[in-house]
Amino acid sequence: MNNMLTIENLSLQFGGVKALNDVSFHIEEGEIFSLIGPNGAGKTSMLNCISGLYQPTKGSMKFQNQEILTMKPYNRTGLGIARAFQNIALFAHMSVLDNLKLGRHIHMKSGLFAGGLYWGAAQKEEVEHRHAVEEVIEFLEMQDIRNVPVGTLSYGLQKRVEVGRALALNPKMILLDEPMAGMNSSEKEDMARYIIDMHETKGMTVVLIEHDMGVIMDLSDHIAVLDFGKLIGFGTPEEIQNNPEVIKAYLGEEEAG
Amino acid sequence: MGDFFQFTLTGLTIGSIYAIVALGFVTIYSVTKVINLAQGEFVMLGGLTMYSLSSFGMPYWLGFIVTIVFVSIIGWLMEFVLIRRAKGANPISLIILTIGTAIFIRGIASMVWGKDQLRVDPFTENKPVNIVGATITPQAIWVILIMLVVVSLLYILINKTMVGKAFQASSINPLAARLMGISPKKMASLSFTLSAALGALAGLAIAPIMFPSYDMGTMLGIKGFSAAILGGLGSAPGAVIGGLLIGLLESLGAGYISSGMKDVITFSVILLILLIRPSGILGEKSVGKGGL
């Protein structure tokens, strides 16, 4: 299998604090890859580096063999990297449909002028994008809430819209930061099913941060474990479950708690 | 009663201009958080460019288009050459930068057009019309109509098109917008271009009523900015309400009390409203920092 993302010797520093310290791993095309670790381990920082919100201090990051380390976030989106946030970053006043349509913005070919005047190709193009958005609505079973302002939805549904907006980008790789946080068990089951479907029916590479170990072990093809910004484990769920350093990090955290 | 209608119509006319200028401020501020104090200069350029084109004998409709395109390019250049280079500067520095730009544009305008007030012909025959005992010129009707068209088109652009949605997204949550593939540079460019076009439209509309000159932008800019603040700096409907309200206050104040006191009355009312509601009429109360 080809590597979708290759990270080598990645470090990220904020002043004197090393959020990530010489981290290396790779993510294979079409797999569900999970990032785990105790709180403050650097998981979200890693996603922020991949999506371009943080600029690493050193290292290399190749997406489909193209170096993306210094690339702007909106250019990475164009390459096919989409991101859903842990603390929901939806446009609250807009409807579900409009939030998802924004996910198609990167694929718009008509210029600002034609788009603004909404004529010719721009109009035709918007109809095409509408179809793509409808597919996402159907995929995530959001038909009933399509015209509802997202700010009025429950937390679980907002999470689903957040994932939907990332899906609307039609990415090659989707980054999901705790997509199940704050959900009840049936919502978690639904989200797990959507993640499996993204992977199996859409062939997407999924990068997942999640605290529910049961979900992680069930879904993941490979797992990377971070602790205090260092990579302490990388492998299949079975390998991770038997990794003494990982066990120590988690048991240590529990004992400290 | 006739007097009241007369003052109201006059107030709505000048208020329509303030509303368009205020919309220019809001358009830029909502996306870039820059307060562009050169907004009045876009109005001045609109009026003076139209004067030049009409004196060359260019048909009005063509002069209209050329003026808007020309001033829009100036707005785009301002963002591209100045604001973009100063990205990351503190808000005070950016405000000073826009003031410097305003002084520069005013200086160039005084060299090109001189310091006299210039006369621009009205759009149509300007025979006054009588409405409910009040007299209004067709040009004043044009001004109000232009404001209504501008507001409608802006509403459609922002709320009904993909470009408009992207524009809104950049305003609501710039970080999330960037991750949606929306370029903040493009949106900033669009905001300055659109704002300059709005300024040009205001200048075109007001030129036949208020003889344009190189320094006309200063007061219009201040009034437009006041309207934007009064309505709530991030709110487009607020800008329109603020503009019309200031126009009405000025006209009624001048008519019923004293023309020398009109600005005192207007700004006293603005201060009073802002004391009661600091975020402006339709502005949202901010609680801490937004974003992620």
The domain segmentation of chain A, as residue ranges, is 1-80+210-257
Closest Cα in chain A to B187: A112
Which numeric CATH code is attached to A1-80+210-257? Answer: 3.40.50.300
CA-nearest of B12, B22, B16, B11 to B227 is B22
- Asked whether residue B159 is assigned to any structural domain, the reply reads yes
- Position B144 in a domain: yes
CA B219 centroid distance within chain: 11
Contact between A102 and B166 using a beta-carbon 8 Å cutoff: yes
Q: Is residue B95 part of a domain?
A: yes
Residue of B nearest to A93 (CA): B172
Minimal CA separation from A176 to chain B, in Å:
13
List chain B residues with CB under 8 Å of A173: none
**Would an 8 Å CB–CB cutoff place A118 in contact with chain B?**
yes
Strands A81-84 and A32-36: unpaired
Of residues A89 and B228, more confidence is placed in B228
| Residues of A in Cβ contact (< 8 Å) with B175 | 53, 89
Structure tokens at A65: 């063999």
Average pLDDT value for residue range A234-245: 89
Residue to test with chain A: of B154, B180, B182, most A Cβ within 10 A: B180
Handedness of CA A226, A228, A231, A232 (dihedral sign): negative
Kindly indicate the confidence band of residue A120, based on its pLDDT and cuts at 50, 70 and 90: low
Please report the pLDDT score of residue A18 as a whole number. Answer: 81
Choose the closest CB to B180 out of A106, A112, A118. A106
Q: Residue B177 and residue B191: Cα distance in Å, rounded?
A: 15
pLDDT confidence of A58, banded at 50, 70, 90? confident
Q: Cβ contact (<8 Å) for A106 and B164?
A: no
Residue predicted with more confidence, B123 or A25 = A25
Q: Which residue of B has its CA nearest to A98?
A: B165
Predicted pLDDT at A117: 53
Q: Is B52 exposed, middle or buried (0-12, 13-18, 19+ CB in 10 A)?
A: middle
Cα torsion B60, B63, B69, B75 to 10°: value is -100
User: Does residue A86 or residue A240 have the better pLDDT?
Assistant: A240
* Angle at which helices B2-32 and B184-206 cross, to 10°: 160
Interface test with B, best of A102, A127, A176 (most B CBs within 10 A): A102
- Return the residue of B nearest to A79 by Cα: B181
- Residue B190 and residue A53: Cβ atoms within 8 Å? no
Q: Is there a contact between B180 and A169 if contact means CB atoms under 8 Å apart?
A: yes
Mean of the per-residue pLDDT values of chain A: 84
The answer to whether position B265 is within a domain reads: no
- Positions in chain B short of pLDDT 50: 287-292
How wide is the angle at C-alpha A66 spanned by C-alphas A63 and A72, nearest 5°? 75
The answer for residues whose C-beta is within 8 angstroms of residue A245's C-beta and 6 or more apart is A225, A232, A233
Chain B residue closest in CA terms to A72: B178
Backbone torsions φ then ψ of A128, nearest 5 degrees: -60, -45
Q: Is residue B257 part of a domain?
A: no
Residue A114 has pLDDT above 80, yes or no: no
CB of A165 within 8 Å of a chain B CB? The answer is yes
CA distance B190 to chain A (A): 8
What is the interface size between A and B, counted as CB pairs within 8 Å?
Answer: 81
DSSP B82: I
CA distance B287 to B274: 17
Residue A127 has a pLDDT of: 73
Residues of chain A in contact with residue B180, where contact means CB-CB under 8 angstroms, are 74, 77, 102-103, 105-106, 165, 169
pLDDT at A109: 57
Q: Specify the pLDDT at position A111.
A: 56
| Cα dihedral across residues A243, A12, A165, A72: positive or negative | negative
Give the residue-averaged pLDDT of A83-111: 77
Element (H, E) at A187: helix A185-200
Residues of chain B that touch chain A, judged by Cβ-Cβ distance less than 8 Å? 157, 160-166, 168-169, 172-173, 175-184, 186, 190, 292
B143 assigned to some structural domain: yes
Residue B56 lies in domain: 14-124+138-217
Q: How far is B191 from chain A (nearest CA, A)?
A: 11
Q: What letters, b where the CB count within 10 A reaches 16 and e where it falls short, cover A138-165?
A: ebbebeebeeebbeebeebbbbbbbbbb
Residue of B nearest to A106 (CA): B181
What percent of chain A has a predicted confidence (pLDDT) above 70?
A: 88
pLDDT tens per residue across span A171-216: 999 999 889 888 888 888 899 989 999 888 889 899 989 878 888 8
- Min distance B103 CA to chain A CA atoms (Å): 30
Count: domains in chain B:
1
CB of B211 within 8 A of CB of B51?
Answer: no
Residue at B48 is within a domain: yes
Nearest Cα of chain A lies from the Cα of B176 at a distance, in angstroms, of 6
- For residue B33, being part of any structural domain is answered with yes
